[in-house]
Chains A and B, each alone.
Chain A
Amino acid sequence: MSSRLSAGPPKPAMSRRALLRGAAAAGSAGVLAGCAGRPDAHLDADAAPWKRYAGTTLNFISENTAPTAAIAADLRPFTELTGIRVNIVTLELSALAQKVALDFASGNGEYDVVYADPYLVLAPYAAAFADLREFQEDPALPRLPGGFGDFIPAHLDTAGRFGDSGKVLALPYDCPTMVWQYRADLFEEYGERMADDLGFDPTPSDNSTWEQYHAIAKWFNSHAHQVRYGTGHQAKQHDALMCDFSNVLWSYDGSYFADGTRVGRFGTTDPGKCLLRSDAAVAGAEFYDRLLRVADPASRTWDWDGLGAAFRSGRIAMCPNWHEYAAANETALPGKVGYARLPKGPARSAGMYGGTGIAVSNVVSARRRRAAWLFANWATAPKTQVSNLASKVGGGTPTRASVYAVPRVVEAEQRPSKMPNMLTAEAVKAAWKDANLGLRPKIPMWGECDTAIYTELSRMFAGEVSPGGAMRAAADRIDRITARGWVN
């Protein structure tokens, strides 16, 4: 001890300068590690096709939807099949579109598999996605069970393609479609009285019209004590409002652009002049304005989630909404909800299709793209889709035709059903027929056009503009947007 004391003040184990140097070195190393690219996928060329990329970790970015919740809840079968781990990032759709756009701009290739919304992601960034046909034709990779032909054709074209190049850029992954959701118990209780008062059979059917829907809603407003209003709508100044309105627009023979089916199904970068100034579009807007006047006034504060919650709470008797709410409806109102194709207008019935595909990013390395194909292949396989249908965390509805023929899936179309989303099968299958399909324009600048439409509709409800004025204002704005073209 004494010798130590006599040696003067103790020296620190590390000098301050050395500590600073060490910290600087560690910081630099951290920064450099952060800037380094992602590691490439592992490859074992001798392994079986499903196992060749074992040891790789993929990133999948998705909207926070029911199918992704089901996939995320049970990824074990995929990891066991391939040895690949998958990190799933779920976000609200507009946040997803931002992340994906910035990932492409940076060239980092952070996301291998992308939930490619046809309007906000696929159309604007089609060039950034791999053509999946090359993987399907590659003998070293597992093929899609049933091939591309097993996907419902309208889904494959709308969610999977862009333009007329023939490329398949995404595999149909989910297929929310707007259908008429109604309180079957109330229709049963009041059916005869309503028929006597209104002069027609109110039971939702293929013959029901929007005018009848309006009359039924009005009747419920003043006759049924179980609900506050007959109908509710997703009429907040939001994308949901455009979706809700479009069903009526199309049924009145209105359209956003000429050759609406082609623009909606395959998509284009040059859609031409907007057609919302047409008499048919104005008639559709006039009816929609009239319909909203008898609807629950809170409709103007609801998007699809708000509307779904209001319906489940027993506040309204019926509404048009996405069919994937069926599982939640069945939990809140077991056995009380019925589903039908949306009513028809003077021209046809139209139900908005809102399906999305999953795509493989072209920004990542070739090896990673091939590993990503394995996941896209598995996530959309018939077996996975059947499992998702029965998932406890929701699950979507199949995009594969073959799944609708599986006996236990067919059985689930009737109550009691272990796959409640299948209770809507009849309604959605009717909506997917070419004659009834409602497709919004698949153009790269749709986000801005969409905003113009729902903003003008919101102004119409506020009484700032007439229905005709709203349609003309929306058309003017859309023409300005499309004239600027797409910059990315």
Chain B
Amino acid sequence: MDSSPTGNVRETGSPATPPARPTPPARPARRAALPLAGFNGRMMAPGLLLLAAVSLLPLAAVIAMSFARVHLLGGLRLEGVGAENWARLFTDPDMAWAWVRTAVYFVLTVGGEMALGTALAVCLWRLRRGRNAALSLLLLPMFVAPVIVGLLGRFLTDSTFGLYTWLLRQLGYNGDVMADQTSAFAAVTLMDIWEWTPLVALIALAGLTTVPSSALEAASLDGAGLPRTLRHIVLPSIAPVLLVALLIRSMDALRYFDIIWNTTGGGPANATKTASVQLYETAFRFFDFGYAAVTGLLMLAVTTVVARYFVRLLERKEPAR
């Protein structure tokens, strides 16, 4: 970037002659330091060791379990079975369908939450009076534990005494929300959107407060309406913040469990059985910890790939320092 004498900003190509940089003074050669050497390393060591103990050791245990049959009686015991559990993963149609449902669910919830959350944040941002009160009300759902959201959803959609069932009947819908595959899937998706849209709105609102007022005023003076201002100034400005929200919600959406388990239990006809529900059943209903370990590692891999993708996007969006 370069500034012209008139004050306009213009792009410049590669300069023909790069500016001469002062040569840094020569430093004495240093040996490569150990990562945990020195005072800083000693201070960090307990934390790092604790982190290793609570993450690396369990990971190693899970990897070992994925190649074994896990016996519980008489103390935990692993019996090696080679790649049997992994081979089962690739021939298990239930697991494949669970991942398809997880993908659909992921797109719908994360997409819905991002769109709604951003829209709500913009509304709040433009609110002149009562913003704090509106924000407080908006944030309430995310303070409810997901398991409670599931129980509430179950009661509200209960066909005998559910409030939402009654309201839907007044509107002419006589079906049972949790009895139909499509409506049950939609219901659990909406419950998640209801709970977590406020988080996205909160993060987006924080980003909106950092949009330079000078840019907004300039846009206003140039006659840009709200849609153009949002598209060309606001959204690009808060894109990194939205990516953080996207990252957080993506991690959660892939692990989504509580609400489904407390409302439909994965039904009807497996319509809401996501990979995490399948994992829970395999581990804690069937006590097949070997296969559950394989499923868990697959979830970890998918989560890591998704997280890595968003982090790279975030890095690209961050301004050069």
Contact = CB atoms under 8 A, between A and B. Distances in A.
Q: Do A and B bind each other?
A: yes
Given A297-B179, A298-B160, A488 B286 contact: no
Interface in A308-358: 309-310, 313, 315
A310 B268 CA distance: 19
B25 to A, nearest CB: 42
A305 to B, nearest CB: 11
Instruction: Report whether over half of chain B's contact residues are helix, strand or loop; otherwise say mixed.
Output: loop
A301 B71 CA distance: 35
A124 B287 contact: yes
Given A237-B265, A310-B160, A488 B285 contact: no
A301 B285 contact: no
B287 A101 contact: yes
A45 interface: no
A218 interface: no
Contacts of A238: 265, 267
Nearest to A481: B286
Interface string B55-74: 00000000000000111111
Contact of B175 (A97, A297, A464, A488): A297
A105 B160 contact: no
Contact of B286 (A237, A313, A445): A445
Nearest to B270: A455
B39 interface: no
B284 A461 contact: no
Instruction: Report whether over half of chain A's contact residues are helix, strand or loop; otherwise say mixed.
Output: helix
Give the interface size bracket for A toward B.
35 or more
B73 A127 contact: yes
Contact of B268 (A98, A105, A445, A458): A458
Nearest to A316: B160
A94 interface: yes
Contacts of A447: 285-287
A462 B71 contact: no
Contacts of A297: 159, 175-176, 179
Given A237-B265, A300-B268, A458-B268, A104 B285 contact: no
Interface of B: 69-76, 79, 158-161, 175-176, 178-179, 181, 264-271, 281, 284-288, 290
Given A107-B74, A448-B286, A488-B73, 19 more contacts: A101-B72, A125-B72, A236-B268, A237-B266, A297-B179, A298-B159, A300-B176, A301-B178, A309-B160, A310-B160, A447-B287, A448-B288, A451-B281, A459-B270, A462-B181, A462-B268, A487-B287, A487-B288, A488-B72
26 contacts: A94-B284, A97-B284, A101-B72, A102-B72, A104-B73, A106-B76, A107-B75, A125-B73, A236-B267, A236-B268, A237-B265, A238-B267, A296-B159, A297-B175, A298-B176, A300-B268, A301-B179, A306-B158, A306-B160, A445-B286, A458-B269, A461-B269, A487-B69, A487-B71, A487-B79, A488-B287
